[in-house]
Amino acid sequence: MKPPREPVHGLLLLDKPAGLSSNAALQRARRLLNAAKAGHTGTLDPFAEGLLPLCFGEATKFSQFLLEADKSYRAMMRLGITTTTGDPEGEILETRAVQVTPAQVEAAMAPLRGEIAQTPPMYSALKVAGRPLYEYARAGITLPRAARRVRIAHLELLALEGNLLSFEVRCSSGTYVRTLAEDLGSALGCGGHLLRLMRTATGGFASDRAIAPDALEALPPAERAAVLLPVDALVSHLPALALSEEHALALAQGQILPCPGGAGLFRLHGPQGRFLGIGQCGEEDGLLRARRLVAQESSRQTPAKTLRY
């Protein structure tokens, strides 16, 4: 009989290897931690590697902050070959000769920086009528997809060796780096597809802090939970507000309070610095309301300077 799942809470920075799906990586980490509840903060394609933040327990309540965060990648694409999927897992569609210079790459990259329109690829998890697009694509069905605005904050050529082009990109949530590579190949006149992809950062977290699944498994079971960051690491960018026991209880009971800080979201802490959740101060009425509270067994917190209340 399997042991019952434990109430594990926190954020795991996982270094996902290539060849493993994000869901398989999540389930492996969940099994190793024997966690009752888990979720990811945005998937990586199976061929991709790098930083995959995973939320456990009460941390899943705040996963949206990383889902919506900017992300950074290092990528390598193969020029001259286009594929059905825009990556190495697809079938070859066309092969062209490659005669490209770094100056030509820079010229092709320039229009791809800033806010651009990008059409989601058919081989993606974006859902239409409750089904992911890749299911339609595998059935030979191509659906119209509306272009959407994404932001490419940084796009830099790292190396150009023959038909292999490496670049670094920092982009908004919802950007498909596969599509970016295809658009770059098209602008260069030779086509191309993404060969390798490594996520190096998301939000305020970097891959150099991540642990590989094998390294997590190598730890004694009793020590694995120690690699988790506290729940409030997901909202550490928010200003912190320290509440008295009386005010903490009032918010937990659904009451509203005068807010001592400016308008916006706040990270809430109770006595002894325990993390309570997040609250919002209204811009018009100046009142503090609880937005997302945590169960208090998960209240291990990150030390922070706070506004006292």
| Catalytic residue positions, numbered | 45
Cα-based distances in Å from 13 to 165, 212, 237, 271, 294: 28, 9, 17, 28, 21
Two tokens at 162?
């023959």
Angle between helices 102-109 and 177-187 (to 10 degrees): 120
- Count of beta carbons in the 10 Å neighbourhood of residue 94: 10
Residue 234 and residue 69: Cα distance in Å, rounded? 11
DSSP state of 168: E
Nearest Cα to 210, choosing from 219, 218, 220, 200?
A: 200
Any bridge partners for residue 193, and if so which? 78
For the stretch 16-50, what's the b/e string if a residue is b when 16 or more beta carbons lie within 10 angstroms of its beta carbon? beeebebeebbebbbebbebeebebbbbbbbbbbb
